Amino acid sequence: MLYRIRLPLLLLTLLSFTLTGFARAQQIALPEIGQSGGAIVTPGEERRTGEAVVRNIRRAGGILDDPLLNDYLNHLSYRLVSTSDTQHPYFEFFMVNDRVINAFALPGGYIGINYGLFLASDSESELASVLAHEISHVTQRHHARAYEFSEGSNIPVLAAMIAAMILGSQGSQIGQAALTAISAGSIQQQINFTRANEKEADYIGIQLLADSGFDPQGMAIFFQKLDKESRLYGPQAPEFLRTHPVTESRIADATNRAEQMSRASSPNPKNYYLMRARIQVITARDKKAVRNGFEKTLKSGRYLDRDAELYGYALSLIDTGEFEQARKILNDLLNADPGRIAYLLERARLESMANQHKQAISHFKQALADYPGNGPLTLAYTKALLRAGKANEARQIITEHQRHNPEDPHFYKMLAEAEAALGQSANTHIALGEYYYRIGQTHQAIDQFSLALKKKPLDFYNTSRIEARLNEFKEEIALLQQGMK
């Protein structure tokens, strides 16, 4: 883990979210971490734990759920994974909706990065250095070394605890909002990698940077920024900087190791700058203010990349309903760079938002002809079809996409909307149930599957499928309830 995270209290909040109505928060009994004599965690347990943590984070509003941004993050990260010698079968990367600078690796190959850390970087190599460090924690199985599961350990409770630690970081609006929602007790448990783990992750991470064509100095440069920020804060520094400082020796080690490797000199790719601009727009509370900010920066000429600044300006114009000006900017960008997915997606989305459905569908079809199966384009196309009243076509596209991507909650939500438009009430409840489960709302998932079970007629296959899924959800709730006794 790049930074230590010390997160009291929030576990109780996450558990109370899950068990509203019968939680006994003051009596939580947590599985012990690092307990001697416990059974070493298996890869399967790591995967299930990490998956449950992500659902808990999502339930608390902690995921920055933007398909295009997530696509960029995963492509960048898998460039690093592909050069490692890991036998780990699975990785998933996601953006956390928090401006605090932080990143973390979870059991099972799940890696989160706060959007605040992305914006704190000034190059893709700096951003990649953080991802390389976290990837190294996973490839070296530091989670299995960091803690042991007691016999019969309760994965849902452990997952809620880890999620609580992540979301409760000082300065996190999500964490602070959750802290105010409870009054019972406090949890002082924390999960930390050892210094040896951290040193190993730095060492291997720098090698991954070099092998993947990034500047290996990216890690040392980013460490220096964190060290400077820590000095500026002084004794009031955020928790992760006070409890896990980036030391001079750590910076020196990273610098010395990077100097032994060839240094990449390629410029930052366009998508890095585009995603920085995108984050600024989608995380902005005041849409007009962010639009004015892009306009001012474009006039002053003080920007990292002009195309990215224009792109961000166009996004902000769409958000404020200024479609004609946004259309002109996007058309100009596409004339200069016709194959850029970020531009293609926003031009088509603009037409859908402007209720120009025929034009929007045409743009999406053209884009998907060039990039078949692209997740962000497919999702946006599905939304456009539903806005245009083409529910049957939307359902066909979703069903095909889910054969290869069955876990994405966005598509279940769209599927529920399509089934509802087609009058398929049982299928609507099933799709909503799957959506709620994937965003961590297990109680709502149970409600939806129970409603689906009441719809008639249902054949034996669908009845059995619904009942089996209900049993899985109820078992998870029972484990959480058991962990709180």
Mean pLDDT of 45-64: 86
- Under 8 Å between Cβ of 40 and 144: yes
- The string of pLDDT tens digits covering residues 444-456 is 999 999 999 999 8
The predicted model gives 301-324 an average pLDDT of 96
Q: How many whole angstroms separate alpha carbon 295 and alpha carbon 300?
A: 9
The CATH 1.25.40.10 domain(s) of the chain lie at 389-485
Entry field: residues in the chain: 485
Could you report the per-residue pLDDT of 106-118, keeping only the tens digit for each? 888 899 999 999 9
User: Which residue did the predictor score with more confidence, 83 or 434?
Assistant: 434
- Which residue do the tokens 């079970």 mark? 453
Q: What is the mean pLDDT of residues 229-252?
A: 64
Residue 120 has pLDDT above 70, yes or no: yes
Q: What is the pLDDT of residues 249-284, one digit of tens each?
A: 788 888 888 888 876 656 678 999 999 999 999 999
Report the CATH architecture of 389-485: Alpha Horseshoe (1.25)
Torsion angle of C-alpha atoms 422, 424, 425, 426, degrees rounded to 10: -150
Mean pLDDT of 195-209: 85
**Banded model confidence at residue 201, pLDDT cuts 50, 70, 90:** confident
Question: Residue type for 180, please?
Answer: T
Reduce the DSSP state of residue 323 to 3 states and report it. Answer: helix
User: Active site includes 447?
Assistant: no
54-77 average pLDDT score: 91
Position 230 pLDDT exceeds 80: no
In this prediction, residue 369 carries a pLDDT of 95
β 92-96/110-114 pair status: parallel
Q: Could you confirm whether 202 is annotated as catalytic?
A: yes
Helix (H) or strand (E) holding 104: strand 103-105
Which residue among 45, 66, 124, 202 is the active-site one? Answer: 202
Instruction: Report the pLDDT value the prediction gives residue 183, as an integer from 0 to 100.
Output: 27
Q: Which three-class secondary structure state does DSSP give residue 93?
A: strand
405 φ/ψ angles, rounded to the nearest 5 degrees = -135, 70
Share of the chain above pLDDT 70, in %: 76
Give this prediction's pTM. Answer: 0.82
Per the prediction, the chain carries an average pLDDT of: 81
pLDDT of residue 295: 96
Q: What is the 3-state secondary structure (H, E, C) of 113-154?
A: EEHHHHHHCCCHHHHHHHHHHHHHHHHCCHHHHHCCECCCCC
Q: Which of 71, 98, 134, 215 is an active site residue? A: 134
- What gap in Å lies between CA 34 and CA 29, rounded to an integer? 15
Answer whether 3's CB lies under 8 Å from 244's CB.
yes
Q: Is the pLDDT of residue 100 over 90?
A: no
pLDDT digits 0-9 by tens, 178-199: 433 322 223 333 345 567 778 8
Indicate the range of 39-48, 147-156, 258-267 predicted with least confidence: 147-156
Q: In 237-286, which residue ranges form alpha helices assigned H by DSSP?
A: 239-243, 248-259, 270-282
**Is the CB of residue 22 less than 8 Å from the CB of residue 257?**
no
The answer to whether the peptide bond before residue 457 is cis (omega within 30 degrees of 0) is yes
